[in-house]
Structure 1
Amino acid sequence: MGKALIDATLSAYGVVWKAALPLLKLNHRLKEGWDQRTLNGGVPAPAHIWIQAASGGEAYLAWEVLKELRSPFTHSLRVLVTTNTLQGYETLCRAAQEINASQSGLAIQPWYFPFDSPAIMRRMVGHVRPQAALILETEIWPGFLNACKEYGVRILLANGRMSPKSLGGYMAWPTFFRTLGPDRIMAVSQEDGRRFGTIFGRDKVWVMPNIKFDRMAEAGPMSNEKNPLRDVIPVDADFVVFGSVRKQELAAVSHLAAGLMRQRPTTILGLFPRHLHHVSLWKKALNDKGIHWVLRSESEGKARPGTVILWDTFGELFPAYGLAKAAFVGGSLAPLGGQNFLEPLTCGVTPVTGPHWKNFAWVGREIIENGLALEAADGAEALDSLITTLDNPLMRTEVVKRAKAYIHDRLGGAAAVAKQVADFLNKD
């Protein structure tokens, strides 16, 4: 594709952004950090490295990479870390506070990722003038990529994943994306690597361990004494967690809950919706099944046997896993890709997942084959697995030991990314 055609395409792209910005300002989620997203409030300080972490999950991956960036360099490094969401920004602020205070030679500045208007991105990159840009997971922003190319910024896409559907979208205009594409891509699997190679060229693609394993390396169950839910859930209770359940599986999950409470009426069930603004939908679904429930925000004292707690508060899923004897991980009874079942596993609970967990295929099929997680074909099989787990509980310490051994063999992703960033910087 000729430069004139690319310039014309980016010009049209910029016109779309200019028209869209007044509408985007009406979005309450984008109001947070608006002046940073538009650069109306100024620009960040110049930096050697720009790391883009789309949301909360990627922000934690950025944190892992920042830890590894301490060792390869002897001089002070200024790092700009950006994100698209409030959760991601808050996570990056905590990472910056920790690393800046450690006097490790890194100076971290969090910022909201600017809107991808080519004009905004040219101003941003032209001021920051990074030597290298790191994109975590897969974000192909034409304005950002083009600005980096114009200013000679080397681009690394790491922890990359690409679905067949995404590949199909990029194949609609492969030359355009290849022209603007990253200089190096580190994919989390051979399959992802082949898809990236189809678009950007196989010579640019490496395969790396998923950084998410690094993040889980130190994870483990908190002691009962430190668990913030110790005054809510009795330590000896048959406590079952349904974690991160999604509205698309309302019927299946509420049926599963009814079956569990029917077969094990003394169970305490904690039902955690993935999105709290859908709590009202879960109220209705449980009512339709004749299940009596109480909101977590309105519960008082320790829950009694036979209680179903509908969780409507943030931040308590992980400690709940720490007290659970069995756990079902949602997003998996409907074709939604699943949710993170490593969390209950590192808390010492063998997780049950439905058949749809492709978003976590990076974990490896061996986790099912080795019995570290239980895959159910449908809700009925998930119920059988939960009952079996309750009736034949494994020692929490043994589950954690096996989980850590599995994770240990897959560490090193953050260090590999830090090394590639160092290589980019050292070539100058």
Structure 2
Amino acid sequence: MGKSAVDMALAAYGLAWKAALPLLKYNSRLKEGWSQRTLSEGEPAPADLWIQAASGGEAYLAWEVLKHLESPWSRSLRVLTTTNTLQGFQTLLRAAEEINGRKNGLAVQPWYFPFDEPNLMRRMAARVRPRLAVILETEIWPGFLHACKRQGVPVLLANGRMSTKSLGGYLAWPGLFRALAPDRIMAVSETDGRRFGTLFGRDRVWIMPNIKFDRMGDASPMPRASNPLRDLIPARAPFVVFGSVRKEEEHDAILLAKGLMSKRSGTVLGLFPRHMHHMDLWRKGVEGAGLNWTLRSRLTGPAAPGTVVLWDSFGELVPAYGLATAAFVGGSLAPLGGQNFLEPLTSGVTPVTGPHWKNFAWVGRDILASGLAVEAKDWREALESLIKIIDGPPARKDVAAAAKQYIRDRRGGAEAVSKQVADFLK
């Protein structure tokens, strides 16, 4: 795509932003940080490095990268970190407090990512004048990329992920995105790498370990004696956790629960809805299935075997996994992307998941081949898998040790990115 065509495309893009901005001011999620998003009350300080992390998850990845960075000069390395969300901003504030407190040659400044209106982005890039911009995961903003090109700022896209759907959207205007392509792309898998290569050219793409593995600590199973839920779960009854189940899969999850309680009637089943405000939906479901149930908030002692406990207390899923004999991880019986099956695994429980877990595809299908997790094609297969685990549960310490090794073997992403940053800065 020629320069004039890119300029025309960006002009149209800018007009769309100008029309949208007055309306965006009424969006409750965007009011926070509005002056920074619009640069209406000042601008950030100049920086050597600009790291863009879209939201909370990416902000944690930025934190990991910051831990590995060193200044290549005798002075401090000035880093601007930006994000689009309140959660991301709060995470970046904590990261800056930690990194700046170390006094190890980094000076980190958090800021909200400006709206991608081309004139705003040109102003931002001219003010910050970074030597390098780093995008984490999939933040392909035309205004930002164009501003970096105009300013002569190389762009590194790291921990890159791209879905087939996203690729299809970008390919609606391939010439524009190819003209604005990042200088280097570090994708987290060969599949993601091929998609980035299709859009931007394969010669720009490298493969790297996913930084999310770096974020995972060396978790170990919690001893029963120190588990805060130990008095609620009888030691001799099988305890099965349905973790983070979603309303869209309620029909199949209730059939799974009914089948489980029919075949292993002495089981205690802890059902953890992903969203607490749907508790009444789950109550009606278990009542309709003829199952005995109680609310977790009503328990004053061990739950009776044969009971479904509807978990209406926050923050207790991980301790529950620490007592579980078996676990089904929700968000996976319907095309919802799945929930975190690494939580039960690092607690020493082999997780069973449905077929829909694309949100955690970064973990790799090797986790299934190794037997560390089980994928079921539907609720019936999930039932068979849970019963098999209940009848012969593997030793908790062995599962946790194998999970720890799996994670350790896949670390190194943050260090790989920091080395690329150093190469660019030098």
TM-score normalised by L of structure 1? 0.90
Q: 2:322 aligns to what SS in structure 1?
A: helix
User: How far did residue 280 of structure 1 move?
Assistant: 4.8
Corresponding position of 1:304: 303
Query: What's the offset of the Cα at 1:116?
Result: 1.6
User: What is the match of residue 347 of structure 2?
Assistant: 347
Cα RMSD of the aligned pairs, angstroms, is: 2.5
Contact 2:242 2:330 (8 Å CA) reproduced: yes
User: In 2 relative to 1, CA 290–227 (structure 1 residues): closer, same or farther, beyond 3 Å?
Assistant: same
Instruction: Confirm or deny that 1:289 pairs with 2:289.
Output: yes
Q: Look up the equivalent residue of 1:390 and give its one-letter code.
A: I
Letter in 1 for 2:204: K
1:156 aligned to 2:178?
no
| Gap change, CA 1:285 and 1:396, over 3 Å in 2 | same
Tell me, in whole angstroms, the C-alpha distance in 2 between the residues paired with 1:226 and 1:123: 55
Cα separation, partners in 2 of 1:328 and 1:177, compared to 1, 3 Å = same
Listed one character per residue, the Cα deviations across residues 347-395 of structure 1 (whole Å, up to 9, x for unaligned) are 2111111112233333222211111101111101111212222222222
Q: For the Cα contact (< 8 Å) 1:197–1:203, is it kept in 2?
A: yes
After superposition, what is the alpha-carbon deviation per residue over 1:232-285, rounded to whole angstroms, capped at 9, x for unaligned? 556666332222323321211222223223333443333333344544544444
In the other structure, the counterpart of 1:35 is 35
* Separation (CA, whole Å) in 1 of partners of 2:314 and 2:139: 27
Alignment-mate amino acid for residue 114 of structure 1:
P
Distance change (3 Å), C-alpha of 1:246 and 1:203:
same
Change (3 A) 1:309 1:194: same
Equivalent residues in 2 for 1:96-107, closer than 5 Å: 96-107=96-107
- Residues 8-23 of structure 1 correspond to what in structure 2 (within 5 A)? 8-23=8-23
- Name the SS for the 1:97 alignment partner: helix
8 Å contact 1:82–1:111 — kept in the other structure?
A: yes
CA distance in structure 2 between the partners assigned to 1:41 and 1:294 by the alignment: 54
SS in 1 for 2:110: strand
Deviates more, 1:9-18 or 1:264-273: 264-273
1:189 alignment counterpart: 189
Measured at CA, do residues 5 and 383 of structure 1 come closer, stay the same or move farther in structure 2, by a change above 3 Å?
Answer: same
Residues 331, 105 of structure 1: alpha-carbon distance in 2 compared, 3 angstrom cutoff: same
Distance 1:179 1:284, change over 3 A: farther
Secondary structure at 1:5 match in 2 = helix
* Structure 1 residue aligned with 2:166: 166
1:130 Cα offset (Å): 1.8
| Residue pair 1:132, 1:424 contacting (<8 A) in 2 also | yes
Partner SS state of residue 382, structure 2? helix
Structure 1 residue matching 2:93: 3-state secondary structure: helix
Q: Does the 8 A contact of 1:177 with 1:199 survive in 2?
A: yes
* 1:323-338 pair list within 5 angstroms: 323-338=323-338
Aligned to 1:262: 262
Contact 2:72 2:425 in 1 (8 A): no
Q: Which moved more, 1:355-364 or 1:159-168?
A: 355-364
Which range is displaced more, 194-203 or 391-400? 391-400
Structure 1 residue 307, shift from structure 2 partner: 4.3
- Give the structure 1 partner of residue 243 of structure 2: 243
Gaps of 5+ in 1: none
1:402 lines up with 2:389 in the alignment: no
The corresponding residue for 1:49 is 49
**Distance change in 2, residues 1:227/1:153 (3 Å):** farther
Counterparts of 1:177-256 in structure 2 under 5 Å?
Answer: 177-224=177-224, 227-230=227-230, 233=233, 238-256=238-256
1:139 equivalent to 2:139? Answer: yes
CA distance, structure 2, for counterparts of residue 315 and residue 156 of structure 1: 37
Q: Distance in 2 between matches of 1:263 and 1:246?
A: 24
Aligned to 1:376: 376
Is this contact kept in 2: 1:241–1:270, CA < 8 A? yes
In terms of Rg, which structure is larger?
2
Give a deviation string over 1:154-208, Cα, whole Å, max 9, x none: 1111111122222222221111001112110001111211111111111110011
Q: Does the 8 A contact of 1:331 with 1:337 survive in 2?
A: yes
**Pairwise CA distance, 1:230:** 4.7
* Deviation (angstroms), 1:336: 2.6
Change in CA separation of 1:302 and 1:107 when aligned onto 2, cut-off 3 Å = farther
Residues 38 and 325 (structure 1), Cα distance of their counterparts in 2 relative to 1, 3 Å cut: farther
Separation in 2 of the partners of 1:280 and 1:73?
Answer: 59
Q: C-alpha displacement at 1:311, in angstroms?
A: 4.0
- Give the partner amino acid of 1:213: F
Alignment of 1:407-426 (within 5 A): 407-426=407-426
Question: Cα deviation per residue 1:113-162 (whole Å; 9 max; x = unaligned)?
Answer: 22222222222222222221111111211111111212222111111112
Q: Deviations over 1:1-49 (max 9, x none)?
A: 1222222221221222222223323332223333332333432222221
Are residues 376 and 425 of structure 1, via their aligned partners in 2, closer, same or farther at CA, if it must alter by over 3 Å?
same
Q: Counterpart of 1:117?
A: 117
Distance verdict in 2 for CA 1:177–1:313, change over 3 Å? farther
| Worse-matched range after superposition: 287-296 or 167-176 | 287-296
Moved more, 1-10 or 316-325: 316-325
Partner SS state of residue 323, structure 1? coil
Q: For 1:394, what is the secondary structure of its paired residue?
A: coil
